[in-house]
Structure 1
Amino acid sequence: MRINDFIEIQRESFSNFLEKGFIKELSLRNPISNPTKDLELIFYPDYYQLNPPEWLAKESILQAKTYACRLYVPAQLFNKKTKQVTIQWVLLGNLPLMTKRGHFIINGSPRIIVNQMIRSPGIYYQEVINKNKKKTYYADLISYRGAWLRFELDKKKLIWVRMKKTPKISILVFLQSIGFSKEKIFQSIQYSDYLKNSFLKDNHPNKLENSLITLYSETYPKKEKSLLTSEFGQKLLFRKFMNPRTYDLGTLGRIKLNKKLGLSIPLDKKTLTSQDLLNAIDYLIKLDYGIGELDDIDNLKNRRIRASGEIIQNQISIGLIRLEKLIREKLKKPRKTITIRNLITTKPINGALREFFGSSQLSQFMDQTNPLAEITHKRRLSSLGPGGVSRETAGMAVRGIHPTHYGRICPIETPEGQNAGLVNSITSYAKLNKNGFIETPLYKVYKGQVQKELPILLFSAEQEEEVFVAPSDLKISKLLFLPKKIIPTRFGKDFKRVKREQIDFVAISPIQMISIATSLIPFLEHDDANRALMGSNMQRQAVPLMSAERPIVGTGLEIRVSSDSGHSLQSKVSGYISQVSGEKITILYLTNSTEQELGSKNLKKKKGNSKMELNLSLTKIKNLSSYKIILKNSTVNFSSQKFLTKITHKKNYFKKSLKNFTSIRPFQESIKNLLFQKEEIQNYLLIKKSNILSSSTHEVRAELRSSSSKMNNHKQVRSTNTSFNVVKQSITKPIIKNKNLQTPLSFEIKNYKLAKLEYILQNYQRSNQETCITNRPLVKEGDWVQKGDLLADGSASVGGELALGKNILIAYMPWEGYNFEDAILINERLVLEDVYTSVHIERYEIEIRDTKYGIEQITNQIPEIEPSEILHLDINGIAKIGSWVKEGDILIGKVTPINKKPLSPHEKLLYDIVGKEIPTTRDSSLRVPKGVKGRIIDLQILETQNLPPETFFDGPGRVHIYIAEKRRIQVGDKVAGRHGNKGIVSKILPRQDMPYLPDGTPVDMVLNPLGVPSRMNVGQVFECLLGLAGISLNQQYKILPFDETFGPEASRSTVYSELYKSRLKTKQDWLFNPNAPGKIRLLDGRLGKCFDQQITVGQAYILKLVHLVDEKIHARSTGPYSLVTQQPLRGRSKHGGQRLGEMEVWALEGFGAAYILQELLTIKSDDMKGRHQVMDSILKNKPISLGTPESFKVLIRELQSLCLDVRVYGIDSAGKRKQIDVMKLN
């Protein structure tokens, strides 16, 4: 089965929202009328329209705008008094649009809406076992929209009902409030004795009115009971459970409720009915008698996915409720003229969407480190967020792996830390159904035979409960029969071993149960799950390198990740490449007059005895083609007018623009064509760009050769001339009479159109994580491409395959302690040859402000700056594109007005003598930060939002400047393999000192062998050995995980056989030694001697991760302090310091380093007076005075705020007790 589009889950959901969701939400709020019902506002949601976005997706990022379209709806205002009707298109708000890659662009930043996993609407029964091992039961009634309701059966056998955040109410009072009499309640419930305990001890209401008052007073205990009427209770019940606008079970909730409680209420009844409540309580009582089943909330049949479209729909709903409230208030006010435009404002919907995209847990900054990170982020499932669980209260049951996760949720890929098990990834083959449940595909099995010819069936967790499902890694015979042995299968929540005849279904692929990132790990079955988890997560952190390289050992899924992420370009049409540059690729393709692409549906097939039908691509003629057939002793002039009229009857008239041409008759049925005599028409196509005649005309020649021919010595040459600005041309076809052949194809289209399709390439774009997004063209001018062919690679793909790292030669051995504790020793070749060099693009911005002395200005007139320092600035004071800048250089010149200070007479005289003006501005330019050097590749001048629109100022208001920086691998960088084997570069060794192979090749990286046995990730050893064979044999391998299908220990036998092949091919005996397979005698580069033991050496695929030392290294001498504690701030971004915590204090105490400790806690931290005087004391050789730390003063103040007056006393010279003011201690 072909794997679904990886981003389909996002696109389909948003498409569903646009087609149905928005219309449904607006229909719920329709019509809106005033209290007297004489004014009515009606929307027509079916006819809503979206205007195209003001900015393209790429422009939105550069201009820091939101990629959104305007949402218009027709509205009608009907005045029943005057019988006046006005209809108008109204703007409801700006709706952010999803890009074709499945994300949104908000204020210039790509953002993702994460899919949320929540409890499905319905009723769920669960038990609680207390300390005394007594069981109590409760039922949660969950709605799609509206209040939740809980029925509790406590240890005293009393039944209570509780709404969210309200006190519990007796079940009898609740049922009586709905309108049941006591008799009806006791008759309807089977074990009604339970209910006798639920009478209120004092003043149990007998009448309906009293029940409603009691219900309201119990729900809102602060209200005065004497002022309440039954109407209050009635409105409460209607608002909470009976009003379809505020309470909605949803179709799914109604189905689940009917199924669980054995009801047959119509599906369109989506509010609570009295029968629902009675049956729910009856089921709860029966549970205490051991009748009925408890529900497992972690079962995927009880959890559904809320995708992006549904989440936005909920936000639109919030916005519409606010809008409705505003409209009702405006309709109440008496006005002579009310217009639709006055009633409707865009603020409510825009505000609801802005709040959601800006601050919701489910709207996240897109992870754009590489294409895999992007796809995984779009396929992420989160149990957090509104309506979900919180990470503080989530227990192990919610986080654990459930049997229903098989084929739906990946058991491996989840974050480490607080979110483990709460944030998951959907598996490779899983799909969402219309109700939001995850489905997995299975093959039908009939009497032990897998029915691969039948359609594949999709199963939800509920449908899968009653069938036997076998795993996919079984050896299936040629006739598709399962093995005769006892087969392990799943049935419900259990694992059983059964005969093949009992099996109903079988999984379709070994990678069906794991996510995309995990299925990119070769030999996954040999890795421990914890390490596979790290491998999956670290692949997402790999930085795209300058020269990418595809892995020698892959799994076959790399090409799908690259194509579905949208980072590599694929052709949408079949056609000729007319132009290729670093900025765009242009394709010319034929369409017919109705703008449709010419395809096989337009061709009429004729009978013929040809061995091979004409290839479809040859029929899509774009331009002027000529064929020459040279017979052995004769030449035919095919260009003569006589030949054209006699044989082909075909003329083509081209217009100047070369956009349309008309065909009189493409072929006549009597024509016999040489082309169809060929057994093999096209062996290979050689395309050469011959010459460029002018800027508007060029010629491309293509030669067709054939390996076998049934004719005499005929030579066939095909030349293709692509010509522009043609006034009149004709196409000629070669004809040789042959009565036995008929033309197999005939064109029936009369009008053709040549269309142009342009693909704009991404050229050094900045990603959210400051990695580089770029496209590299793979086609040449004059190439023919089919629909779906690759046009350009992305920054992390090669030939359309995902390429995140490099294949490098590694050895597992200790080396002078430099690879202790996962440290890694690398060869300087990796630095000098830019093997692990990546390009990072950083954005710096500056914006002018209005100060109290005037408006700041971006300019190149900067005071007290040498002219040489501003040579690279333009007239506006902005660095020019292409400039090389380093630390401290000015990027954007900016001056801030300052207060003119009054000068003394001698200062004025000095300024006059020097000829210098009195400064009115100070330099506040944007400079290149520490440790950064690179080239300016782009700048954007934007509108400022700090100043009012009517403010006049000189120069730009807001500028973004982009610097591209090369980062080579260095000590401190983090590198990792795909199996969770990670480490930090500890030393870069000269290549001559590295251990080397018997043929003299030095090793690129030395890893610690102790990192394999205890971590149990042996897959890395298989990978590096197969990689070594691949390098020798010049071969790539695609190995799907779980290969035991092909026999026991298939991985080992494959690796050894390939190594043996490479030994035979290269004649290098050391490649495979049967006594120590996979191990090689290495030589020490420093001494030239062999190491004592044989060493595992191979080609591993190693990634450079985004945790670069350049972004982590940090030093501080002085810097900002916290306002309250006066201690240094924390973190690199704030230029903070490292915290000396209590454990560090204990360590110093343990050494008895009293004075060091005192310094650290006072003048080096928060003794404000002491830290200012310390420099002076050192310079003047005075003793350093140590005062009171500010944090101690804060402690005293906090104790005082708790009404604890802490005082410190000392004994004075007279021997009396005297209070010491700790706030003034030095």
Structure 2
Amino acid sequence: MLYSLLSFSIKNTETLVSNYFNFIKTILKNKFYKLLPYSILYNNILIKFYISNLKLTTNKYEIKNLNYLNSKLNPFYQVSIPIDLYFNAKLIKFNYNLFKFPKIDSENNLILNGLKKIFISKIKRDSGLYFNIIKKNNFTIYKAFLLFNNLNLINIQLINNTFKIYNFKDKKEIDFIIFLHYLGISNSEIIKLSKYGNSNFLKNILINSFNNYKFIYKNKIFYLKYLKQLSSYFGIINNKNNIYLNSYTIKINNLINKIEKEKFNNIFGFDIRNNLIYLSKDLINILDYLIDLKFNKINITDLDNFSNKKLENVINIFLNQLNIILEKRLKFLLNNLKKLNINNKNNFINFINNKNYIYNFKDQFNIHPLIQYLDQINSLSEIMHKFKLIKSNKINNKEFALRDIKLSELGKLCLINTSEGLNSGLIVYLPQNIIIDNFQIRNPIKINKNYTKLFKIKTINSIEQEKYNISLDYKIIRKNKQLFSLNSVNFYKNYLNKNILNQESYFHESEIFSLAQNLIPFLIHNEPTRSLMGAKMQTQSVPLIYKQKPLITTNTQQILSLKNNNIYSLQEGIITYVSSYKIIIRDLLNREITYYLPNYNFSNQNTLINYIPLVWPGERVSSGQLIANSQDFIDNEFSIGNNCFILYGSYLGYDFEDALIINKNLINNNIFTSLHLDYYEISCLYDINNYLEITSNKIPKYTKYAKRNLDNFGIIKEGSKILKDDVLIGKIKLYNLTKKQESLGKFLFVLFGYQLRNIKDTSILVSSGNSGRIAKIELISNFNNFKELNNYLKIKIFVIKQRLLEIGDKLWGRYGNKGVISHIANSVDLPYTEDSITPDIITTSIGVPSRMNLGQLYESLFGLNCYYLNKRLLLNTNLNNKLGSNYLKTLLYNYLKEINLYKGISNFNSYNFGKTQLFNGKTGKMLKGTNLFGTVFYTKLIHMVKDKIHYRTIGPYSTITQQPLKSRSKKGGQRFGEMEVWALEAFGAAYNLKELFTFKSDNIKARFNLQEYLLYNLPLKNSILSESFYLVLNHLKSLALNIEALIISEKNKDLKNLIK
């Protein structure tokens, strides 16, 4: 297959990391050469900059500090430049600190305030040449846009048989022919180089341009200054006589890179340049191109073509602000030179290098909209988050052309995987096999010119892709009856054609989808929107304690194991020690190298990060061999769920819509049990007024049961099992007595000998849904500087929570078939098959045909064969190539017949193909009809019921919409979605639904009435319709549909007949 032949075929982050290291080594220094002078003379002080000796210093840190949520950890590089100051015939040497920027580790992560973050790359318009036609005031304007890297935009336009050049920065316009004359390009050269040199149209334009010289001569000082400024974008000025050198050898500074040369060659159709872009030839070609557009000889290429785009990553943030930072730091140095004193030069150096005056990119990154917390729910979510792309920052962008999929994006962007909602089409993902070269995306294609089994792999960008007639890898539509050959879909020059099968250049089908998409077997038999949902939910799956490999696999699971998430050996050697904490390898040079496994760590989403060693002592390992897997892998294969028996049918009505009924054995055997970590940080404070917080277990307010796990100091013990309302830390705060309390205290002391204290209880209790076990406790004391920090003791408590399946949790398959658990049934009550197998999951069969999810049916039937015969099915290219014919149907029938032959199960026959006869679990009688019964790979989502709903809680409401707030940080309420409503409807819980939609929603009057009923025992009135229903009525009224509520009674009997 394609990925086994490519060294770059793993979707990795190394390309972005290599660009970052290239920025540190070369780009940063080259930028300094352009921006900083060699020396400056200021107030008789000579300043010399040694850019070649540019220094990068960094802070040291241990990666294990991230595991304890160290909020002060910010790895950075500090850029400083050596400076020599010649002052009063004396030399002062020092390093001048310029700025700090964050480090990027080998996994392309930014570590800010101890948390891993990621920069989302943005697709941006690349510098180059663009053409457009605009109709305005009954005039047709033909425009050519020159966009430079420094964001200067120049417009050359043809209007009313006159060429104009316009600078958007200065907003000034001048005749384009006069500008060419200023560059030294005469009329004879224009006629010689232009293909319209002999035409009367161009000659008339040249003659008319001389009339404009009279107007320019009147304001020659102004126009000469503007021409000089405009020409600075195109070439190099000779400082002696302020005129250009030979125009044939002048190069355009900002269009000198390889990509821009390729664009110019692609537009103008010539390739005569070696290292220079010839200014006169290019400008006259722009003139010819505009004339071609006027006479309709050529068509305009799409402005949104992907060849006109580039990726903007975190390096561009540094480069865009580097000139501003250098200007500020240089000005700061010059302004403070008056404070220079030879005797106290150290004070001067310390002052100008003060960290308060040095620009730190960390402050900007903390609020940057494209820097997000790394999604670490599982390994796949981390990978997919790093390859998210943004097309536009405007969420309300209504341009369909920007959101639409273009053929030039084929192989560069995933066709299906995008964001849902308002950002649909604006947030996209990279496909599986790409490389990033010079901020351009390149994808591989197969080239087979001799039509043999041997082929070569070549990477191409969007410009090169237009030169190839590309088809999908043996994707056959149908046979051509006339030519007796096969038809396929071809892509050529951004057009889609249906031609005879092309075997010369083609994509592999996995090249146009992302990793999450390629994990879905039978992808072709799935609806695109459901495939998108399945890809999204794979990144939201929780790592489980017990998991299995999927019976139906696509081999993309093994590609995922080649990511940076796993640990590889860096050298060849012998394993000498293996544990869950570290692996020691002795290499060929008799050196011991230790690999530490970061076990039981936090992720940003509070899931567990754990690594499992795959080697044993005495094993010989080679360089690059996998030695430890993360928690999402089994035997080097991505596995995040379990294979479950599924029944498509009904059970007591609990399967309403997409609700799920699960077997209680799943809970008893911990099949979908996951581990989550929680973190508490408690401080004991000491303030100026001598108010002190202390820990104690002798707080009479709580019961002995609530304090059963506290030690003598009032701190929870390690390994303790904690439940709701248990005391984590018994803590009180001591205050001074007030004047009234002092007199009362003296009175109590005389009577009972008891000293009165002013105490406030500040204990920490376990909240609802946070039960678990104490994994670790850390005590950090600050005795040396506690008066400054007002914090003499910090306590960190790590709680590990084991979450079983319960009603309200979400399960999903790989095809977007998700559902909320509505009922947990006993195994003995469920229907069973002939060989006494009860289903693990029961779901309705209505959702399959309505959503066109045929893939899940194929998986259930093929998976049943894999279960009975103890094998796994790999969907490779040979199977997918024949999906257009009846091959899959024949194969499926043979697989089901194979179960009949080897296992003796007689209910798989041609009369009820794929259906199974079931028996009632309560009576043992055979059920009428047959049902589809099979094996499907299911996973638990992170949207668990304990995080979503708290029973009968009412939190704050929005003052505008009177809806419950959404965020948990704002104590928001019930995130009760559509599928949760279906689960309640399956139970017939009408009163619960009514309470959610009226009292706990936006029905203000009913909410106050409920409060009066609970507090003052006033009668509870029936709730009126909610505001959301009135909103629906208003929408219907906007469609000229008037809906009124009428009461049917004896007086108006005509309404009964009307309804009938």
Shorter chain as denominator, the TM-score bin is 0.7 to 0.9
CA contact (8 A) 1:13 1:310 kept: no
How far apart are the structure 2 equivalents of 1:1065 and 1:457?
Answer: 47
Q: Which moved more, 1:171-180 or 1:869-878?
A: 171-180
Aligned partner of residue 770 in structure 2, secondary structure: coil
Is 1:1053 aligned to residue 876 of structure 2? no
Is 1:923 aligned to residue 761 of structure 2? yes
Select 2:577's aligned residue among 579, 582, 585.
Answer: 579
CA drift of 1:379 comes to 1.9
How far apart are the structure 2 equivalents of 1:274 and 1:331?
Answer: 47
Corresponding residue for 1:459? Answer: 460
How far apart are the structure 2 equivalents of 1:1051 and 1:295?
Answer: 42
Select 1:140's aligned residue among 117, 126, 145.
Answer: 145
CA drift of 1:538 comes to 0.8
Which AA in structure 1 matches 2:506?
V
CA contact (8 A) 1:895 1:921 kept: yes
How far apart are the structure 1 equivalents of 2:206 and 2:926?
Answer: 87
Corresponding residue for 1:607? Answer: none
Which AA in structure 1 matches 2:168?
M
Is 1:382 aligned to residue 390 of structure 2? yes
Aligned partner of residue 146 in structure 2, secondary structure: strand
Corresponding residue for 1:355? Answer: 363
Which AA in structure 2 matches 1:424?
V
Q: Which moved more, 1:286-295 or 1:550-559?
A: 286-295
How far apart are the structure 1 equivalents of 2:400 and 2:969?
Answer: 35
CA drift of 1:900 comes to 3.5
How far apart are the structure 2 equivalents of 1:935 and 1:200?
Answer: 89
CA drift of 1:1028 comes to 0.9
CA contact (8 A) 2:110 2:116 kept: yes
Question: Aligned pair in 2 of structure 1 residues 927, 93: CA closer, same or farther (>3 Å)?
Answer: farther
Give the 5 Å matches for 1:666-705.
none
Structure 2 unaligned runs (5+)? 238-251, 477-482, 977-993, 1022-1060
CA contact (8 A) 2:99 2:359 kept: no
CA contact (8 A) 1:64 1:108 kept: yes
Corresponding residue for 1:470? Answer: 471
CA drift of 1:515 comes to 1.1
Corresponding residue for 2:494? Answer: 493
Corresponding residue for 1:436? Answer: 439
CA contact (8 A) 1:887 1:931 kept: yes
Give the 5 Å matches for 1:1060-1139.
1060-1070=897-907, 1072-1114=908-950, 1131-1136=967-972
Corresponding residue for 1:659? Answer: none
Q: Which moved more, 1:517-526 or 1:114-123?
A: 114-123
Which AA in structure 2 matches 1:43?
Y
Is 1:76 aligned to residue 83 of structure 2? yes
**CA-atom RMSD, angstroms?**
4.6
Corresponding residue for 2:773? Answer: 935
CA drift of 1:774 comes to 0.9
Aligned partner of residue 116 in structure 1, secondary structure: strand
Which AA in structure 1 matches 2:514?
S
Give the 5 Å matches for 1:887-926.
887-896=724-733, 898=735, 900-903=737-740, 905=743, 908-910=746-748, 913=751, 916-926=754-764
Query: Which of these two proteins has the greater Rg computed from alpha carbons?
Result: 1
Question: Aligned pair in 2 of structure 1 residues 581, 39: CA closer, same or farther (>3 Å)?
Answer: same
Question: Aligned pair in 2 of structure 1 residues 1068, 972: CA closer, same or farther (>3 Å)?
Answer: same
The TM-score, its normalising length taken from structure 1, stands at 0.70
Among the aligned pairs, what percent are the same residue?
26
Corresponding residue for 1:506? Answer: 506
Is 1:117 aligned to residue 123 of structure 2? yes
Question: Aligned pair in 2 of structure 1 residues 919, 1040: CA closer, same or farther (>3 Å)?
Answer: farther
Structure 1 unaligned runs (5+)? 213-229, 476-481, 593-752, 1141-1150, 1185-1226
Is 1:529 aligned to residue 552 of structure 2? no
Question: Aligned pair in 2 of structure 1 residues 57, 157: CA closer, same or farther (>3 Å)?
Answer: farther
Corresponding residue for 1:879? Answer: 716
CA contact (8 A) 1:146 1:248 kept: no
CA contact (8 A) 2:786 2:792 kept: no
Corresponding residue for 1:677? Answer: none
How far apart are the structure 1 equivalents of 2:773 and 2:292?
Answer: 75
CA contact (8 A) 1:863 1:922 kept: no
Select 1:419's aligned residue among 418, 423, 433.
Answer: 423
Which AA in structure 2 matches 1:12?
S
Give the 5 Å matches for 1:90-239.
91-128=97-134, 136-150=141-155, 161=166, 163=168, 168-172=171-175, 206-207=217-218, 211=222
Which AA in structure 1 matches 2:823?
K
Select 1:591's aligned residue among 578, 588, 592.
Answer: 588
CA contact (8 A) 1:258 1:265 kept: no
CA drift of 1:768 comes to 0.8
After superposition, what is the alpha-carbon deviation per residue over 1:342-367, rounded to whole angstroms, capped at 9, x for unaligned?
58547599745213431222211111
Q: Which moved more, 1:1074-1083 or 1:9-18?
A: 9-18
The TM-score, its normalising length taken from structure 2, stands at 0.80
Question: Aligned pair in 2 of structure 1 residues 1135, 68: CA closer, same or farther (>3 Å)?
Answer: closer
How far apart are the structure 2 equivalents of 1:207 and 1:908?
Answer: 101
Corresponding residue for 2:1035? Answer: none
Corresponding residue for 1:775? Answer: 611
CA drift of 1:890 comes to 3.2
After superposition, what is the alpha-carbon deviation per residue over 1:1106-1162, rounded to whole angstroms, capped at 9, x for unaligned?
11111110356665577999997554432245799xxxxxxxxxx9xxx99999546
Give the 5 Å matches for 1:246-645.
248=254, 251-252=257-258, 254-255=260-261, 258-259=264-265, 260=267, 280=286, 283-284=289-290, 286-314=292-320, 319-331=325-337, 341-342=349-350, 345=353, 351-384=359-392, 389-393=393-397, 395-433=399-437, 435-452=438-455, 455-473=456-474, 485-498=486-499, 504-507=504-507, 509-566=508-565, 568-587=566-585, 589-592=586-589
Aligned partner of residue 515 in structure 2, secondary structure: coil
CA drift of 1:91 comes to 4.8
Which AA in structure 2 matches 1:445?
N
Aligned partner of residue 814 in structure 1, secondary structure: coil
CA contact (8 A) 2:640 2:939 kept: yes
CA contact (8 A) 1:548 1:797 kept: no
CA drift of 1:48 comes to 3.1
How far apart are the structure 1 equivalents of 2:366 and 2:753?
Answer: 54
How far apart are the structure 1 equivalents of 2:625 and 2:863?
Answer: 28
CA drift of 1:563 comes to 3.5
Question: Aligned pair in 2 of structure 1 residues 335, 1125: CA closer, same or farther (>3 Å)?
Answer: farther
Question: Aligned pair in 2 of structure 1 residues 322, 903: CA closer, same or farther (>3 Å)?
Answer: same
Question: Aligned pair in 2 of structure 1 residues 422, 242: CA closer, same or farther (>3 Å)?
Answer: farther
Aligned partner of residue 546 in structure 2, secondary structure: coil
Corresponding residue for 1:1037? Answer: 873
CA drift of 1:131 comes to 11
How far apart are the structure 1 equivalents of 2:94 and 2:1001?
Answer: 76
Corresponding residue for 1:692? Answer: none
CA contact (8 A) 1:53 1:70 kept: no
Question: Aligned pair in 2 of structure 1 residues 1182, 1106: CA closer, same or farther (>3 Å)?
Answer: closer
CA drift of 1:954 comes to 6.4
Which AA in structure 1 matches 2:772?
G
Which AA in structure 1 matches 2:505?
F
Question: Aligned pair in 2 of structure 1 residues 917, 1060: CA closer, same or farther (>3 Å)?
Answer: farther
Is 1:792 aligned to residue 628 of structure 2? yes
Is 1:806 aligned to residue 642 of structure 2? yes
CA drift of 1:895 comes to 4.2
CA drift of 1:1178 comes to 2.2
CA drift of 1:238 comes to 8.9
CA drift of 1:982 comes to 1.3
After superposition, what is the alpha-carbon deviation per residue over 1:452-506, rounded to whole angstroms, capped at 9, x for unaligned?
2xx421111111212222321359xxxxxx9964554322122334456x75423
Question: Aligned pair in 2 of structure 1 residues 540, 82: CA closer, same or farther (>3 Å)?
Answer: same
Which AA in structure 1 matches 2:106?
K
Question: Aligned pair in 2 of structure 1 residues 536, 172: CA closer, same or farther (>3 Å)?
Answer: same
How far apart are the structure 2 equivalents of 1:299 and 1:469?
Answer: 17
Aligned partner of residue 1013 in structure 1, secondary structure: helix
How far apart are the structure 1 equivalents of 2:744 and 2:65?
Answer: 59
How far apart are the structure 2 equivalents of 1:200 and 1:422?
Answer: 49
Question: Aligned pair in 2 of structure 1 residues 520, 325: CA closer, same or farther (>3 Å)?
Answer: farther
How far apart are the structure 1 equivalents of 2:211 and 2:698?
Answer: 83
How far apart are the structure 2 equivalents of 1:1158 and 1:1045?
Answer: 52
CA drift of 1:837 comes to 0.8
Which AA in structure 1 matches 2:373?
F
Question: Aligned pair in 2 of structure 1 residues 1128, 1076: CA closer, same or farther (>3 Å)?
Answer: closer
Which AA in structure 2 matches 1:937?
A
